Structure 1
């Protein structure tokens, strides 16, 4: 494996680790500060898998913990004057599995730690909703400060239970538990929820109908991922190494990275090009261009949400979708382009007054989809041949 000349945070989602162990960090902290201090209280952000959502959540966590030492030299220190420590309640729903029991076990463990922290003795058979509310109130009373609530990958159990008998029971748990966030408004400083896909009618969004979707706002278009300016500002030494090891010029190496990993757009009012951060950093670490995103499991849910993708693949490139569907609809509506956009296989190419033109963002995505399509087509062709042969014998 190629040795990088600096420490690159390959797969690291901890802001604390990146800052304390001297990894290269692309500074997004000015956006974090503005989101907390000039944004709304209840926030939701959708971005594809491996796009830095968990790192963003951890950055919020460090900010609310008033870890000024971690922000030295970053833009946020020029903006923050008070450094008030707020209590934080943090949930990572990717740890909850895809069944009601998985959700129950995870919430029981997570809530148990906060109950121990704040000296709460839950009554027998008390609901998770009551326990959640009691934790929020106890944190407020213990510190005198409103509570920051951070929920990462909220949709993971709902994605993985989709089209299974467990799905409705999972969504019912979400309705009951997360409705508390609205009812505990007076005790909350900031609520931030991330996910990939949006289940509007069946889960958190129906329970928390005052949730603001930041996913299409121009001021937050670049909060996850890496821009063209940021790659030059932060990774020029690694691009030089990539160029040298592959006998390319600097511009050729840069162009290769752009072709494979750039091309994402998340807002019609801010069409700044965004690189897939996971693949970009991994390519720079290895000094090698490859399809890193798909090898990380990015395509595992395609067949759950998109039917006959091997037949329809070409029609998705340069497809059209109206604004309400892309910005507001439920992924369970059956609109394949909506799932493909939210999960990173399609991106915004251009927009008009009524909607969006979507297409494949880059070469890595095209190749990832081809790897799915070709084996399926081959199996169908083989099945057709066998069927034809059996008919010819009869």
Structure 2
């Protein structure tokens, strides 16, 4: 029966494609080359609706949130979604889950600290960079800050001025990759510690201005020095391995079929396989991710970037290695002379996932943070995570990584 269904499906797809008469939904572009929510919606690209999670966050009893996820899983896209949401851009959400709530679309000033573009500054350069960054945000809101070069004082002034202008408990803070400046210096203990101290001074201001914030959302690639750098923020809710938020980034096979069916139909022709077989192929190369201890209660997730590129190019090439291999991972593996013996799941103590810094981060934790490993189980007796390679695409990327380590000078 399943064979007949596949044949019938393929026949429909091939006839439709050969006729060249594609419905409008087949022509909706993928979001390749677009990383912001507003651009994706305005360009009418295919969008996996994660806005229901905004309602869930707002309905919780928390205001301060933290999550760590590998790159290319949609962290930046979600932050730009939050930015548009709190800026009151209701028209962008009219067909999405966020519009189904009783939300009043109250407009708030939004401070975005995006560290993705930072590079390995020295101490003085990094402090100057922060000063310029904070002043540029002030200019967006027509706020004049005092002429001084202490970044923490400038940040405190900015928050104070915004509070006077818009009221208490109304400012939104969004941070993308809080740990990037530290990870860039992970091969130098002195520079790492300097950067750690600078970032702590910055985030201590967040805790000092508790009655100014409406919502704070901080993302990271890792949890490196989180217990130090973010210690000044009260009741920071870490949702990284929380069951309710495990699918906030990435998407399941169900989403893949429901949202990307038009592209999957064209893919069935190039692969000469039925829909189920093509979905399984993509999942085997790009999926298998889990960020929760409760494996039985959560669906495996697919890496969005790898899946989108595979759909776009209609092939089975490896799109993981180039886009998802951060430089800090290469440095750590090189320093610790890590041997790639991952034929069976590796065990890592849960505490090693939560508290670590430049000196204590384990190679396995760095691999997990980079998407090279994923959770496949949890041993309650020993309080250990079991980690494995999530899919065949990453398994292939491991070979590329191993070869690259021999050629890269750290």
Select which of 206, 209, 228 maps to 1:181.
206
Question: C-alpha separation between the residues in 2 aligned to 1:271 and 1:368?
Answer: 25
Matched, 1:286 2:317: no
Give the corresponding residue for 1:162. 186
Map 1:290-301 onto structure 2 (within 5 A): 290-296=317-323, 298-301=325-328
**Structure 1 residues 201, 233: closer, same or farther in 2, change over 3 A?**
closer
Select which of 187, 191, 216 maps to 2:216.
191
The offset of 1:310, in angstroms, is 7.6
| 3-state SS, counterpart of residue 184 of structure 2 | helix
| 3-state SS, counterpart of residue 73 of structure 1 | coil
Map 1:199-348 onto structure 2 (within 5 A): 199-200=224-225, 203-208=228-233, 210-269=235-294, 270-296=297-323, 298-307=325-334, 312-315=339-342, 317-330=344-357, 332-348=359-375
The offset of 1:167, in angstroms, is 2.1
CA contact (8 A) 2:203 2:230 kept: no
- TM-score, normalised via structure 1 length: 0.89
Question: C-alpha separation between the residues in 2 aligned to 1:327 and 1:95?
Answer: 26
- The aligned length equals 376
The offset of 1:259, in angstroms, is 0.8
Give the corresponding residue for 1:77. 99
Select which of 334, 338, 349 maps to 2:376.
349
**Structure 1 residues 105, 376: closer, same or farther in 2, change over 3 A?**
closer
**Structure 1 residues 374, 169: closer, same or farther in 2, change over 3 A?**
closer
Gaps of 5+ in 2: 1-25
**Structure 1 residues 201, 262: closer, same or farther in 2, change over 3 A?**
closer
Map 1:59-208 onto structure 2 (within 5 A): 59-99=81-121, 100-144=123-167, 146-164=170-188, 165-200=190-225, 203-208=228-233
**Structure 1 residues 274, 125: closer, same or farther in 2, change over 3 A?**
same
Question: C-alpha separation between the residues in 2 aligned to 1:253 and 1:201?
Answer: 40
Which deviates the most, 24-33 or 141-150? 141-150
Give the corresponding residue for 1:366. 395
**Structure 1 residues 219, 235: closer, same or farther in 2, change over 3 A?**
same
Question: C-alpha separation between the residues in 2 aligned to 1:202 and 1:30?
Answer: 29
**Structure 1 residues 154, 378: closer, same or farther in 2, change over 3 A?**
closer
CA contact (8 A) 2:69 2:221 kept: yes
Which deviates the most, 243-252 or 321-330? 321-330
Which deviates the most, 51-60 or 31-40? 31-40
CA contact (8 A) 2:186 2:328 kept: no
The offset of 1:40, in angstroms, is 1.1
Gaps of 5+ in 1: 380-394
Question: C-alpha separation between the residues in 2 aligned to 1:163 and 1:54?
Answer: 26
Select which of 61, 64, 74 maps to 1:42.
64
The offset of 1:334, in angstroms, is 3.4
The offset of 1:203, in angstroms, is 5.0
1:219-268 per-residue CA deviation (whole Å, 9 max, x = no partner) reads 11000001121111101111111110122222221121011000000011
1:275-308 per-residue CA deviation (whole Å, 9 max, x = no partner) reads 0001101111111111112122525332312247
CA contact (8 A) 1:149 1:188 kept: yes
Question: C-alpha separation between the residues in 2 aligned to 1:47 and 1:201?
Answer: 14
The offset of 1:209, in angstroms, is 5.7
Question: C-alpha separation between the residues in 1 aligned to 2:164 and 2:254?
Answer: 44
The offset of 1:352, in angstroms, is 2.2
Question: C-alpha separation between the residues in 1 aligned to 2:59 and 2:133?
Answer: 28
**Structure 1 residues 289, 101: closer, same or farther in 2, change over 3 A?**
farther
Question: C-alpha separation between the residues in 2 aligned to 1:87 and 1:28?
Answer: 22
Question: C-alpha separation between the residues in 2 aligned to 1:9 and 1:112?
Answer: 32
Question: C-alpha separation between the residues in 1 aligned to 2:103 and 2:361?
Answer: 48
The offset of 1:159, in angstroms, is 0.7
